[in-house]
Chain A
Amino acid sequence: MASKVIHAYYNDDDILMQAVKKVKAARHHIEEVYCPFPVHGLDKAMGLAPTRIAITSFMYGCLGLIVSIVMMNYIMIQDWPQDIGGKPSFSYIENMPAFVPIMFEMTVFFAAHLMVITFYLRSRLWPFKKAENPDPRTTDDLFVMEIEPHDSVENLKDLLASTGAIEIKSIEKE
């Protein structure tokens, strides 16, 4: 399904932020903004829903904590009890302080790694994927705002030009 979109190029993140606010105020729908680096507050300006990745991170952390508890209980108490430093591994609770660093590490490990994996899946990134960004310069120094025009293309182009876009293109998207 082909659809017509406008690409507006910016070369400064502050100008981009102002432009996003103006375009939103003019009631246009911004499809996407491609940036070479994360721009603070852009998600709020674009009106994106708040990220839920923090919640997943908390759940992964809890999972990591549980895994570490079960794992250390199996390794150190059930499978191969040892006497370390005069503290025989007869019960989990009495040896628990020794396992706290492991609980901490596994919590962080699970939260961090699974959060990154979640982020990749959610952003539909995987190996050999074809790049989605419309212009290689967005990985260098340019910001691209993608807008779907809903009435006059010319009006929208004028608006974009007034926000400080350095280049404006009409694109037929597949």
Chain B
Amino acid sequence: MYTFSNRLKMGSIILMALGLLGLGVGFVSAPSTVEEAKAMVATQDDGHGGDHGEEAAHAAPAEEAHHDDAHDEHLLHQLQNRPWSALYVAAFFFFMIALGVLAFYAVQRASQAGWSPLLFRVMEGITAYLVPGGIIVFVILVLSVLHMNHMFPWMDAEVVAHDELLQNKSGYLNPTFFLIRAAIFLGGWIFYREYSRKLSLAQDNSDDNRNFIKNFRWSAGFLVFYLITESIMSWDWIMSVDPHWFSTLFGWYVFASMFVSGITVIAMISIYLKSKGYLPDVNDNHIHDLAKFMFAFSIFWTYLWFGQFMLIWYANIPEEVTYFVTRIEDFKLAYFGMLAMNFIFPLLLLMNSDYKRINWFVIMTGIVILCGHYMDVFNMIMPATVGDQWSIGIPEIGGVLFFAGLFIYWVFTALTKAPLQPTRNPYIEESRQFHY
């Protein structure tokens, strides 16, 4: 049995406290009137320097040129959205890790993989975060529907009234149906997680393989449900912040991101537990396989990223290219920096077979990959909600710290609930003997 060390527990609580503080500062310092918003942008122009000083300076003359109220209102909404978006991006990012791990776990179950059963308890521990993470994301979506923020423009009846495209989409994209869908998705995912965990624990105490076979069937069924709902989830929760824009492979793109982040976290937590003397049978071959997945899915993510970009770039249809124009003009560093972190780093660092077996190398690459995929979610949400008023400051870092703390606290608490090594999984011996 694993015991949650006090140091790690204190660390996660401190992270949560710091994060709450950062998020609080973000919410308090958001402007509540148009005048405040204008004053904030004006002071930003005066100094600050850094990366964004330059951008703000570019934006200033244009703003003064057409000084209409609608524009100021828009600016106010962007600044008000910033703490909300920081909260949402971080909440979604950590929720996405748990969901990616759940998908990976279901793949291992459905394919009856022989190498991975030793890691099942680690995966189950991570997916425990689906419950708090999912509830938090759902609450943020409900608050958005209640007009606490302006992240989803189509939720604003005023906006829809003046927008024919949104009126045409309102049969699907309306607040009630949106929340019903979200509830169904979360309910289905959490149900599978809890039920599969129950069967997994029951298998250890049973004298036949009934639970194992049942788990296999449920996992195969879950994958069908997951692939459909994950795709719809990505349109609902992410793509709809840009309600005019659409991309048919967006679901896959988000999936690649969550899958690679999830696998990275499995590798990192396994290495951490190993370094503390748990998981004695997990050896470098298991880490090697996880690192291969990290490498392969980083390339898969890049493939989808580029596939989405190139088709839209080549076709050059105005309503499609605006998505990339915003990102390349206002988010240049974040957008291309993310590409370097998610593609070039893992490609070069994990290409060599031997490096995939060096644990600290996998951890370092994993940290870069996780930062890169946080930036990926950031780049999916922020350009629509915050626009050129973005920055990575106190609210964003606060959001990451808070959810990182909650994630660590919840996952490691879940890991203490059951023995870290399944005993009666029929493939456990194969997993113990596994060498590549």
Contact = CB atoms under 8 A, between A and B. Distances in A.
A3 to B, nearest CB: 36
A38 interface: no
Interface string B305-319: 010011001111000
Nearest to B313: A97
Nearest to B436: A40
Contacts of A58: 351
B316 A86 contact: yes
B353 interface: yes
A98 B314 contact: yes
Contacts of B310: 97-98, 100-101
Contacts of B353: 54
A87 B309 CA distance: 15
Contacts of B314: 85, 87, 97-98
Contacts, number: 18
Interface string A79-94: 0000001110000000
Is the interface on chain A under 10, 10 to 19, 20 to 34, or 35 or more residues?
Answer: under 10
Contacts of B315: 85
B316 A85 contact: yes
Contacts of A86: 316
Nearest to B353: A54
A100 B306 contact: yes
Given A97-B309, A100-B306, A100-B310, A87 B316 contact: yes
Contacts of A54: 353
A151 B371 CA distance: 62
B105 to A, nearest CB: 27
A47 B395 CA distance: 57
B352 to A, nearest CB: 8
A173 to B, nearest CB: 35
B344 to A, nearest CB: 13
A85 B313 CA distance: 10
Contacts of A98: 310, 314
Interface in A112-141: none
B155 to A, nearest CB: 34
A34 B310 CA distance: 49
A2 B315 CA distance: 71
A85 B315 CA distance: 7
Interface string A53-67: 010001000000000
Contacts of B309: 97
A60 to B, nearest CB: 14
Nearest to A86: B316
A100 B306 CA distance: 9
Interface of A: 54, 58, 85-87, 97-98, 100-101
- 6 cross-chain pairs, A with B, having the tightest CB-CB distances, nearest first: A97-B310, A97-B313, A85-B314, A86-B316, A85-B316, A100-B306
8 contacts: A85-B316, A86-B316, A87-B314, A87-B316, A97-B306, A97-B310, A98-B310, A98-B314
Given A85-B314, A98-B310, A100-B310, 4 more contacts: A58-B351, A97-B306, A97-B314, A100-B306
